[in-house]
C-alpha cells in the first residue's frame, strides 16, 4: 500500500516527501555508482515526489549515457534521490516518463520493520542488463 514518507539528506538541507509502496519491489543495482554508494532505491513516478526544501543545496552528477541525474547535497554529500526519464519495458511493466529513484536510507519516518520487510530486486547494471539479477548479490 502506498504511503507518504518524508526524507532528508544527513544535514537536513534537502527535504522531500514521496508516495512509496514499500511492500512492492525495491531494488539494488551492481552498477559502479550504486555498488560504491550502496544505493537502495524505490522508483516512483514524478507526480509521487515533492521536494520540500533544498533545491539550491543539490548538486548533480551524470556519467555514462548521462540519462540519470544523480542528485547530492552540497553540504553533507548524501544522495537522497535521483531523477530519470524512462521509455522502456522493465520486468513486464512499461515505464514511460519522469521518475525518481528514492534512497530508502534517507526516509526519516519509515520504520525498521517496513524497511526489513521490503522485497528487494537485484539489477545487473554493471552489464547494462537491469532486467536480470547479477550472479552475485550478497555484497549489495
The dihedral of CA 139, 64, 129, 19: what is its sign? positive
For 83-129, give the DSSP string.
Answer: EEEEEEEETTEEEEEEEEEEEGGGBSS--HHHHHHS-EEEEBGGGTB
How far CA 14 is from CA of 46, 54, 60, 66, 105, in Å, comes to 17, 4, 13, 23, 14
pLDDT at 23 over 70: yes
**Structural domain total, the chain:** 1
92 occurs within a structural domain: yes
Q: Does the residue 98 lie in any domain?
A: yes
Q: Does pLDDT of 53 surpass 60?
A: yes
Any domain includes 65: yes
Q: Domain with 118 in it: what CATH number?
A: 2.170.150.70
pLDDT recorded at residue 92: 63
What is the pLDDT at residue 129?
82
Amino acid at each position: 500500500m502506498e504511503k507518504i514518507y518524508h526524507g532528508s539528506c544527513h544535514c537536513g538541507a534537502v527535504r522531500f516527501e514521496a508516495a512509496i509502496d514499500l511492500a512492492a519491489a525495491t531494488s539494488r543495482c551492481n552498477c559502479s555508482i550504486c555498488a560504491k554508494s550502496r544505493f537502495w532505491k524505490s522508483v516512483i513516478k514524478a507526480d509521487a515526489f515533492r521536494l520540500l526544501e533544498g533545491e539550491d543545496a543539490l548538486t548533480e552528477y551524470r556519467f555514462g549515457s548521462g540519462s540519470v541525474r544523480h542528485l547530492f547535497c552540497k553540504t553533507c554529500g548524501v544522495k537522497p534521490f535521483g531523477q530519470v526519464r524512462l521509455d522502456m519495458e522493465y520486468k513486464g511493466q512499461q515505464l514511460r516518463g519522469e521518475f525518481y529513484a528514492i534512497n530508502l536510507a534517507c526516509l526519516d519516518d519509515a520504520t525498521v520493520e517496513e524497511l526489513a520487510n521490503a522485497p528487494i530486486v537485484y539489477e545487473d547494471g554493471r552489464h547494462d542488463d537491469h532486467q536480470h539479477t547479477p550472479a552475485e548479490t550478497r555484497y549489495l
